[in-house]
Structure 1
Amino acid sequence: MNSNSNQYLEEASIGKLMMKFAVPCILSLLVSSLYNIVDQIFIGRGVGYLGNGATNVVFPITVIALAIALMTGDGCAAFLSICQGMKDNERARKCVGNAVSLLILSSIILVVLFAFGKEAILSVFGATENNISYARDYFNIIIIGIPFFVFTNGMNSIIRADGSPQFAMISTLIGCVINIILDPIAIFVLHWGVTGAALATIAGQFVSAVLAAYYLFHAKSFRLDPGSMLIRFKYLAKILPLGISSFLTQLSIVVIMGVMNSTLVKYGAMSKYGADIPMTVMGIVMKVFQIVIAVVVGIAAGSQPIVGYNYGAGHMDRVKKIYKTMIAAEVIIGAAATFLFECFPVPIISLFGSENELYNEFAALSFRIFLSTVILCCVTKATSIFLQSLGKPVMSMSLSLLRDFILSVPLVLCLPAVFGVTGPLYSGPIADIVSFAAALIMMISVFKKLDTKVTASGENTGFSVHGVRHSAL
């Protein structure tokens, strides 16, 4: 273990560093998103759209689990990177140990809560009399894999911050490949339907978790011991606030999906589309949207170790340059996604099975309206993660909550009174425009403060580590 193993983060070119960290992070997050996408594709073709509707109903529990994993993992990663910039190896080691213990404990608690609350959960997230039996079958198996899922996703953030983004990517990729191989066997050969898809998913999650556990004993910048694994509030108080934005982002997805599903079922039943088509279509649209978000978050989260290390070391000009480079990449991704969603909505939805004309009609409306301002969303999401990397949890959290909860939930509830079943689709563009404006205002303020710190130090690299210590830690 080398205490200066990550010193190249303040010396190498920003472009090369972002390629090194962001690309594996993007691929890792894309692979995680593909778990659900692959299930949807095979279930849609092997079971039908009611099977897909059932997985949409169960999907929020995996998002809740991911929220816990990312709050712990991303928070630990941000704190670890800042500690590395300060050469504070003792606190780095203990924060990782506390994070690992919390990941294990929280995942077990989640399994117990989900098992006892199954019927209530399925009801809240929009199960209908047509898909409830599929939903129960899928739910019963998926919760078994929750501990593996939580541990893998939390550890991925820590592994990337430790300087091994390729390992994080490979461990997740192997799990996804296993899922892709087993899905068609379970559904089309063994005829196990949604139960088979769920079994294939947890098999992949188990293998990825084993690989993440292996990494703990081969880390670059820390070595765990029994004492570091003992959960202590003073370390959780450093970790969790830095991960709260990731937690709230994921949790808001759960809330908005619950509200969205219930609203679409209610107003869909009063429309020509019926109750099942709008809910099923929107579930698929949200999962396709998650692919874009995986790329967006991958760029920003992949840059997190670079931002945190340079902020901890006092290199403010590099911090600003990283943000500008990151946002340029996010705009390109957002523009490409907008083109695809506006021009090819039906071919995209057809990947998940061929259905009737009404199904395709609502799918086209959903992609073209709900995701019309995805480019603004890309910038906002990236800015929130950047603020988290600077050790500014309140600003990061506020930005996440604004778009994904404060604006989206009331809009989904109120707009159907005017537009009917298509009303919830307009919640996306409105929330994106307002939250983008807020992100712009926040970053103007943050850049001014970074300029002040550089000026006060007299030179870019002369900013005292202790100045960051007080403000960030």
Structure 2
Amino acid sequence: MKLAIPMIVAMFVQTIYSLVDTYWVSGLGADALAAMGFVFPFFFISMALSNGIGIGGGSAISRRIGAKDKAGADNVAVHTMIIIFLLALVFTLPFYMFAPQLFTLAGAGKTTELAVAYARVIFLGSVIIFFSNVANSILRAEGDSKRAMRAMILGAVLNIVLDPIFIYTFKMGIAGAAWATVISITVSALLMANWLFLRKDTYVSFNFKDLHFDKRIIRDILNVSIPASAEQLSMSLSMLFMNFIIVSVSSTDGVAVYSTGWRIATIAISPLMGIATAVVSVSGAAIGSRDYIKAKTALSYSTKLGFLTECGAGILIFTFATQIASIFTQAEGGAHITADLAHFLHVMCLFYYCCTRNILLLFLPGSRQRSKCSDSNPVENHGIYPALCSPLCLCPGSRTGRSLVGNDRRKCNRVHIALFMGKVFPERSFENRTYRKSRTACNLRGQNP
């Protein structure tokens, strides 16, 4: 909880600023909300890539800290920074140059000009956004979640203050909202850069002069980053596809409802994201130090806490859906979408219950990678990762899904249900590292006893 609470607060404040951003833009009308909706999947792509690298680098750092390998943690941090800057450049140039064509193909229609005005500012600040996410992940990985929280809160509060000034006082319109976002993230990034590179009062230190690329470290980072990014990238692509379908069957007003509804929905899952980021650091350090009981306890506790939190959030949003929708449709040009937005919020309440396990699954691979000092994969042997992945094995084409038949399939379902309700299993002897060999559906390697 010491790691989770600061991250929950930070995620909550960031979500609030996202909603405030949407609120001020809603004053410009439904077309401006729709334009933000067309940009959001591309912005989410940048967040997916940077968060993926941050999760991969952060998990590798936390495991080396758990193994008391400071030099290794420093080396991973340097590699992570180099990778993120190269990735930011590859992302920024084509998206900035071909923004009009992108939004025309996405079906933005009459809102294309507004979408391009907003997007080009965001794309221009991609390098800063990428660095900010990775720097925050490094701070969390070394257990300094309070400073990570302060940096995120500073950027969020500054954005809330700058939004009305840039949009209405400076009469910059929707582009003003983008500039407020980029400037606030820049200030947050400068604060973290001061801690990491100038004051150097963090556990992890950076030495770029003696850098030699190590393929093993890059592989270690990417082994976690690619799956984490892939899941979020698939969500981005689904948003693009949904925007295209909505425009085809309705209009850009439908995109305004969809994107605004999703921004409201993010406030419900922000506590869960804070819990998940804390689990990566705690579990990674525990596995690095071979304290597998602590890793399992963290997972069990976070699952129960996340599930209860999401149930409460779903009840609140369902009860006040109409009132929430009216807040974002007060402008004359947006009042006609109030009822549709309220209906969207009602339906989305089912999502909060289902997303708990999926979000924890997304983050857990960061803490399950094999420790340098480990001669086996104890995470799989002790039922932490297999139990979570058991529902995946029931899907056709998964790693050993075809072998899960009859009684084994029923065992796998019981494992999934027991873990989801917070039960930790199987009990093994961790002290002398002797394990019972038994036939179980959770052995994802398909080995026989």
TM-score range (shorter-chain normalised) is 0.7 to 0.9
1:359 is matched with which residue: 328, 337, 340? 337
Conserved 8 A contact 1:163-1:220: no
Conserved 8 A contact 2:25-2:174: yes
Q: 1:457-468 counterparts in 2 under 5 A?
A: 457=433
Taking a change above 3 Å as real, the CA distance of residues 438 and 372 of structure 1, as seen in their structure-2 partners, is farther
Q: CA deviation at 1:126?
A: 3.7
Name the structure 1 match of 2:246. Answer: 264
Instruction: Determine if the alignment matches structure 1 residue 90 to structure 2 residue 71.
Output: yes
Taking a change above 3 Å as real, the CA distance of residues 145 and 263 of structure 1, as seen in their structure-2 partners, is same
Percent sequence identity over matched residues?
A: 24
How many angstroms apart in 2 are the aligned matches of 1:39 and 1:448? 41
Instruction: Determine if the alignment matches structure 1 residue 27 to structure 2 residue 5.
Output: no
Conserved 8 A contact 2:300-2:424: no
Taking a change above 3 Å as real, the CA distance of residues 127 and 68 of structure 1, as seen in their structure-2 partners, is same
Conserved 8 A contact 2:92-2:126: yes
How many angstroms apart in 2 are the aligned matches of 1:245 and 1:165? 24
Q: 1:403-422 counterparts in 2 under 5 A?
A: none
Q: CA deviation at 1:43?
A: 0.8
**Secondary structure class of the residue paired with 1:372:** helix
Q: Between Structure 1 and Structure 2, which shows a larger proportion of helix residues?
A: 1
Amino acid at match of 2:238: I
Name the structure 2 match of 1:322. Answer: 298
Q: CA deviation at 1:247?
A: 0.8
Q: 1:2-151 counterparts in 2 under 5 A?
A: 18=1, 20-45=2-27, 47-129=28-110, 131-151=111-131
Q: CA deviation at 1:176?
A: 1.7
Taking a change above 3 Å as real, the CA distance of residues 262 and 303 of structure 1, as seen in their structure-2 partners, is same
Name the structure 2 match of 1:235. Answer: 217
Name the structure 2 match of 1:370. Answer: 348
Amino acid at match of 1:87: K
1:440 is matched with which residue: 416, 439, 444? 416
Conserved 8 A contact 1:26-1:297: yes
Q: 1:383-398 counterparts in 2 under 5 A?
A: 383-391=361-369
How many angstroms apart in 1 are the aligned matches of 2:281 and 2:101? 40
TM-score by length of 1: 0.77
Amino acid at match of 1:299: I
Name the structure 1 match of 2:229. Answer: 247
**Secondary structure class of the residue paired with 2:3:** helix
* More deviation, 380-389/279-288: 380-389
Instruction: Determine if the alignment matches structure 1 residue 332 to structure 2 residue 299.
Output: no
Q: CA deviation at 1:116?
A: 2.4
Amino acid at match of 1:77: G
How many angstroms apart in 2 are the aligned matches of 1:98 and 1:86? 19
Name the structure 1 match of 2:172. Answer: 192
Amino acid at match of 2:186: F
Q: CA deviation at 1:114?
A: 0.7
Q: Cα RMSD (Å) of the superposition?
A: 3.0
Conserved 8 A contact 1:141-1:195: yes
How many angstroms apart in 1 are the aligned matches of 2:195 and 2:426? 35
Q: Which runs of 5+ in 1 are unaligned?
A: 1-17, 269-274, 407-436, 460-473
Taking a change above 3 Å as real, the CA distance of residues 229 and 150 of structure 1, as seen in their structure-2 partners, is farther
Q: CA deviation at 1:348?
A: 1.4
How many angstroms apart in 1 are the aligned matches of 2:141 and 2:183? 26
Conserved 8 A contact 1:94-1:228: no
How many angstroms apart in 2 are the aligned matches of 1:313 and 1:456? 15
**Secondary structure class of the residue paired with 1:163:** coil
TM-score by length of 2: 0.81
How many angstroms apart in 2 are the aligned matches of 1:442 and 1:74? 27
Q: CA deviation at 1:78?
A: 0.8
How many angstroms apart in 2 are the aligned matches of 1:264 and 1:453? 55
Q: Which runs of 5+ in 2 are unaligned?
A: 371-378, 397-412, 436-449
Instruction: Determine if the alignment matches structure 1 residue 214 to structure 2 residue 194.
Output: yes
Amino acid at match of 1:43: V
How many angstroms apart in 2 are the aligned matches of 1:115 and 1:279? 22
Conserved 8 A contact 1:345-1:364: yes
Taking a change above 3 Å as real, the CA distance of residues 279 and 61 of structure 1, as seen in their structure-2 partners, is same
Taking a change above 3 Å as real, the CA distance of residues 124 and 338 of structure 1, as seen in their structure-2 partners, is farther
Q: CA deviation at 1:177?
A: 1.8
Conserved 8 A contact 2:13-2:156: yes
Q: CA deviation at 1:456?
A: 5.2
How many angstroms apart in 2 are the aligned matches of 1:373 and 1:105? 35
Conserved 8 A contact 2:196-2:202: no
